[in-house]
Structure 1
Amino acid sequence: MDVVCAELRTLRSEVNKGKSQKTASALNRENELSLNVSHLIAKLEQSLVDRLRMEAKLRISRLEADKLRRESQMKDKELTELTSTVAVEKSLREDTVRKSLGAFKRGDELCHLLRLIQEAVRGLKRSIRQLQHDL
């Protein structure tokens, strides 16, 4: 763009020189230079339009990248929360299983003790009957 601006300044100075001479060839040269200046201005304007388009595309890309980054962070947060929830549920399930197994074990022990007591009671009843019979 700086080169185009420099060319533009050079052409304008030549146009100004040509105007002062006012010859036919100078007028032709002036018209030619005016066309060149107009052409350079159009090129410069098109370059500016292209640059603005690229900047707009870049801004859109940055906004999309920011949106994707935020979505990714939200998903990471959700995943962390789910992982924590799963860990708590697993711990609770393990505690429940451990307590259930302990209760079953105590129940088995109580059943065994009940059988032993029942056998002892039967033995005592036999002994009492035997003693009554002997008396």
Structure 2
Amino acid sequence: MPARRSRALTIAAAVAVIFGLLTIVSGARALFGGVDMGAVVPFVLWFNFVAGFAYVLTGIGLWRGTNWAPMLSLGIAAATAAVFAAFLWHVGSGGAWEIRTMGAMILRTGIWIAIAILALRCKKAA
């Protein structure tokens, strides 16, 4: 019988899946739907769209209690922070950008750092 999943990890798994699905939908609209999103930063948009699939996969892995999901959540957190740093470089270099991108990257980075910390702590406790 598998170990009981903590309530916090259950919530984190649900957040990851929902956040991933929303990310995929919004990214697809921006990339393929002909929606004018303003001054998008293409590498950020593509990263977030592709990462949405990893969010869903990680959420499912956390829900199922897999051994790989905590490390994938850490990888997502690190990759998101790296893309955020590159975005900040782009902004600092005078590149065009939207304020909502700044907010989204702060939110994404914060959420994935929190999920990774929680997932790794729960893995150690198991």
Q: What is the TM-score of this pair, normalised by structure 1? A: 0.33
Larger relative contact order (Cα-Cα within 8 Å, sequence gap ≥ 6): 2
Bigger helix share: 1
Q: What is the TM-score of this pair, normalised by structure 2? A: 0.35
